[in-house]
Structure 1
Amino acid sequence: MSGIYIHIPFCKQACHYCDFHFSTSLKKKDKMVLALAKEIAMRKSEFQDDAVETIYFGGGTPSILQIADIRLLIDEVYRNYKVVDNPEITLEANPDDLTPILSFRGTRNLFKEFKAIGVNRLSIGIQSFFEDDLKLMNRAHNSEEAKSCLEIATQYFDNISIDLIYGMPNMSNEKWLQNIETALSYNIPHISSYALTVEPKTALHTFIQKGIIPQLDDEVAQEHFHLLVDKLEENGFIHYELSNFGKENYFSKNNSSYWLGKKYIGIGPSAHSYDGEKRGWNVSNNALYLKSIQENKLPLETETLTKTDRYNEYVMTGLRTIWGISLDRIATEFGKTYLDYLNQQAAKYIEDHLLFVDDNILRTTKSGKFLSDGIASDLFLLNLE
């Protein structure tokens, strides 16, 4: 087994662009932690022969939990599963959850406490180092907290990733480059960076509809993307997945396992699971999730993936990564019909220098990377079966 993902469905406030599942009420936090621990135990029979390589706390905002909550969940994994020596244990965190403890409680060092319970990788949601961007996104932290957090975190953690968002309204190329330069100044070994997107039913969608915020510009986002790729590669980062850049030996093991098709268990409301043949997802409702777990029922729906589903997923994940799409694997695992279809659909993108084949691996060119999701969708095969 690749790993266990634990979804913490709580946040202090809603970011204007976010459509993930979470609640801003912490009234049921303690009950939720106990339910997550119980689901971890309930799911152990699914992968008894596999070892856990990664434990990932995502959300939501996992850093909103107490140290004791995180320790309880890690202990429950060890209690119920085989775990490899020195697994990657990642905690997503927001700067505002980390810096106040150091500022106002003085004697308490949260980073040391994280390390003491086994967390060895932090993924910090910076998003931007500029105050106006953070206010537009309705982030809970400010620019000074973002910088202060990284100054202290890098003293205690070697394996740190930060998130940055590009394609912001009114963000010039110069401003975006300043964001990248600031990130590089902290010697962070991993950066995840995403284009700002407008999701339905978010505050950002409403603001754009009402003309409060200008429409996002895809051409600006594409410029920012190429600036990001060039700058990070100049500084020793490997662009190993569309939105992820890591120094050597600092790729996210958790996320890489998703793209490489390894098995994983998703714990918590809205969390997804995959066992190689079936995909499952928990109910995206905290109250229904708690009720189900209390009744000793898994709040889980599943679907068995068809060969075409698996082909499409491999095409999507393959094109987004440096590993590409193995034409040999397509032929062996899916057959000649799928291989012929893929070659036929890819031909026009190869001619336009957006895709290329090297050593029987189909990959995006540098100019094709930003367009990889759109290209992949054109390589999908529908209703073959």
Structure 2
Amino acid sequence: MSGIYIHIPFCKEACHYCDFHFSTSVKKKRELVEMLCKEIFLRKEELPAGELQTIYFGGGTPSLLSSGEMKMIFDTIYSNFTLAEEAEITLEANPDDLSREKLEMLMAAGINRLSIGVQSFFEEDLQLMNRAHNEVEALQSIQLAREYFDNISIDLIYGIPGMGEERWKKNIRIALDLGLPHFSCYALTVEPKTVLKKFIDKGIIKPVDDDASRLHFEILTRTLKDAGYIHYEFSNFGKPGYFSRNNTAYWMGKPYLGIGPSAHSFNGNKRKWNVSNNSLYIKSLEKGEIPSQEEVLSITDRYNEYVMTRLRTMWGISLKEVNERFGDQFFNYLLEQAKPLLTGNLLKLENEHYHVTEKGKFLSDGIAADLFLVNLEE
């Protein structure tokens, strides 16, 4: 299984919490799309032979693409790859972009899954985050999208300063009442060099409360479980048959090709990433050069990534797979490091797989770090 990720680095506005690569100027959008297509052609041999199972348009805001730009990208993909008949083709969209005309265009282009960046159904939260849409558009965009798409996911953010327990519960209830099959829910994090970080430092916005975030997470997991959703990855909840195949492939270590400025690629042994600059990206590809750097992953890197990604999922860490892929030294190290976590009821062993417990779920990144192997001479 392999997939393509396409980064569309344009947004109408800069969200205060975002540290992804994007530009609020769309002057070079058409030119950049042409270079995306050129990069796809130049790098088509990097994916293993076989059918593409997933295509994912991320950003930025991919819903800013025009029908002509979408067609250009899809024509390039179809002429250079074979697409599986039941391939998952996801596009991230903002509520304010989802008019009836836009939805009809996306469906006609071949998109079959929408990921809508709602973040909250309340105006005060949206304004704090500087989202381009309002609470009315948040709700109406989903209601309209359901007329065209069955496979819809929405993003929600918890732990927002000023968001109390009751408002978070109302956010979840509104989302559930919409009858959607998938939710991606994230704790608000304060990244360096973001507007949010500056506002917190200046006292304009209250700091993020970790205890409140943990409480919101516990409410979320309990409520969605009771509603029949499967918590298949730390931040993701889906009805059976509606898990994100694109994201699941990442967590399971499948190869993917990242196209566009700042996009990352992975082939199992090597990671590549493109320059995070639109102008440099365009200039390089105009000369037929791919503006990327790469890193060959050591066996320790691969082991640590395996532990980190699998521990976040419901599938957990397979002891058999660790032994087969990484050998006795890593296997024995894992067993030893896991002992205090098992004793502390943060980790459990089921069917020869390590899983985080309910107690450990909100601490899964820290638990993974305890299992990492460092300073191994290879």
Which residue of structure 1 lines up, in the alignment, with residue 45 of structure 2? Answer: 45
- TM superposition shift of 1:110: 2.2
| TM-score w.r.t. length of structure 1 | 0.97
- TM superposition shift of 1:50: 2.7
How many pairs align?
Answer: 377
Match of 2:167 among 160, 175, 186: 175
SS of the residue aligned with 1:111?
Answer: helix
State the distance in 1 between where 2:134 and 2:190 align: 22
Match of 1:116 among 80, 97, 108: 108
- TM superposition shift of 1:86: 2.5
State the distance in 1 between where 2:326 and 2:73 align: 39
Provide structure 2 residue ranges, at least 5 long, that are not aligned to the other structure: none
Q: Deviations over 1:318-368 (max 9, x none)?
A: 100011000111111111111121111111111111100011100101111
Which residue of structure 2 lines up, in the alignment, with residue 82 of structure 1? Answer: 82
Match of 2:353 among 356, 361, 364: 361
State the distance in 2 between where 1:211 and 1:346 align: 41
Q: Deviations over 1:223-267 (max 9, x none)?
A: 000100011111111000000001000000100000000000000
State the distance in 2 between where 1:156 and 1:4 align: 24
State the distance in 1 between where 2:103 and 2:239 align: 22
Which residue of structure 2 lines up, in the alignment, with residue 67 of structure 1? Answer: 67
Contact between 2:2 and 2:47, CA under 8 Å: does it hold in 1? no
Contact between 1:154 and 1:186, CA under 8 Å: does it hold in 2? no
Structure 1 residue runs of 4+, over 4 Å off?
none
SS of the residue aligned with 1:357?
Answer: strand
Which residue of structure 1 lines up, in the alignment, with residue 250 of structure 2? Answer: 258
- TM superposition shift of 1:305: 0.6
Q: Give the counterpart letter for 1:315 in structure 2.
A: V
Which residue of structure 2 lines up, in the alignment, with residue 213 of structure 1? Answer: 205
Which residue of structure 2 lines up, in the alignment, with residue 283 of structure 1? Answer: 275
- TM superposition shift of 1:48: 5.3
State the distance in 2 between where 1:123 and 1:214 align: 29
State the distance in 1 between where 2:225 and 2:67 align: 36
State the distance in 2 between where 1:167 and 1:220 align: 6
Which residue of structure 1 lines up, in the alignment, with residue 122 of structure 2? Answer: 130
Q: Deviations over 1:181-217 (max 9, x none)?
A: 0011111100000000000000000010001111111
Which residue of structure 2 lines up, in the alignment, with residue 340 of structure 1? Answer: 332
Give the 5 Å matches for 1:241-320: 241-320=233-312
- TM superposition shift of 1:13: 0.8
SS of the residue aligned with 1:162?
Answer: strand
Provide structure 1 residue ranges, at least 5 long, that are not aligned to the other structure: 103-108
Q: Give the counterpart letter for 2:280 in structure 1.
A: L
Match of 2:217 among 225, 233, 249: 225
Q: Give the counterpart letter for 1:202 in structure 2.
A: T
State the distance in 2 between where 1:174 and 1:165 align: 14
State the distance in 1 between where 2:187 and 2:75 align: 36
Q: Deviations over 1:3-52 (max 9, x none)?
A: 00000000001000000000001110010010001111111122251321
Contact between 1:48 and 1:81, CA under 8 Å: does it hold in 2? no
Match of 1:377 among 365, 369, 372: 369
- TM superposition shift of 1:112: 2.0
- The reply to whether residue 200 of structure 1 matches residue 192 of structure 2 is yes
State the distance in 2 between where 1:45 and 1:280 align: 14
- The reply to whether residue 58 of structure 1 matches residue 58 of structure 2 is yes
